[in-house]
Amino acid sequence: MSRRSRSLHREIPGFFNALLIFGTLATLVIQELRHPLRQSRENKLRRDLRNLAIAAASAATVSLMERPVTTPLARAVERQHWGLLKLVRLPVSVELALSVVLLDYTLYVWHYLTHKVPLLWRFHLPHHVDLDMDATTALRFHFGEIMLSVPWRAAQVRLLGISPMGLSLWQTLTIIEIMFHHSNLRLPYALESRLCRLMVTPRMHGIHHSIVRKETDSNWSTIFSWPDYLHRTIRLDVPQSAITIGVAEYQDPSELTLGSVVRLPLTAQHPSGQLQQAARPSLTGADDPRERQAVPEREPQACSTTLAG
């Protein structure tokens, strides 16, 4: 086996992967407490425990159902030279970079489908009904959604020609990035207005978690923000103080216990995915003068001048 092949057959070591993920989570949780972007509506400890319980079931599902499919498949792809990226012999660094970009783009498509296909929406709904949004929300995916995503993940690996290292690298970067852009971390405007040109940021993804349908139907990207710019689904003109997080039909905390959220795919009142068009909340009480500005009607064209609150 060549040096190139050995490099692509490897995966990020488990201990290093865990260090990166849990280190990122701990850092974000601490920084959220110091510099919160939005005010909490539920008890944070209770929410975090609920979200981590859902995350544990999802992690078990990944171990039992996803990895046994995708890991051997990625090894076969690399061994048999299947897929798009194997049509041309690329330098390892170039192939890994393209693997991350292509997997991220096809995840954009999957995310769109989870909102538009009724069956997929039922299982994606538990992620969106969280009444607050922070780093633990990033881990709050129903185990049923993980199960339904396995065929899509396998298709990504097989058709794109993803190596074990490419898959491992993308998975780690994805987890780190979704914890970051779901976080309740208030970044300086100047920094975030530049970051969102390249990657998904907390304010940007906060708009996607709005109860207002036309805002939820935006900002579908995961790592890089360019798919939203490409498909004109970018939305950056809504101050965080104007956003109510969650789903319009599920705003009562008593209806969102751990058991209720786990059963939600079977009990959802609106399985078609057609969210109610909620009214725009008042900006009264915004904690920053810039968050008292009227929300622009038109979709913004430049992130650096339109990222709100």
pLDDT at 268 over 80: yes
The neighbour count for residue 82, using CB atoms within 10 Å, is 18
pTM comes to 0.88
CA distance 228 to 15: 34
pLDDT of residue 87: 94
The count of structural domains within the chain is 1
Residues 6+ apart with CB under 8 A from 285: 241
**C-beta separation of 300 from 306 below 8 A:** yes
CA distance 42 to 135: 15
pLDDT digits (tens, 9 = 90+) for 220-240: 999 999 999 999 999 999 999
pLDDT digits (tens, 9 = 90+) for 157-203: 999 999 999 999 999 999 999 999 999 999 999 999 999 999 999 99
Q: Output the CA torsion sign for 48, 53, 58, 63.
A: positive
CA distance 6 to 12: 13
| Mean pLDDT (the chain, rounded) | 89
Q: Tokens standing for 156?
A: 């990504």
Helix (H, G, I), strand (E, B) or coil at 224: strand
Give residue 126's domain range: 3-306
| DSSP string for residues in 123-151 | HHHHHHT-SS-SGGGGG---HHHHHHHHH
CA atoms in the 13 A half-sphere facing the CB of 306: 16
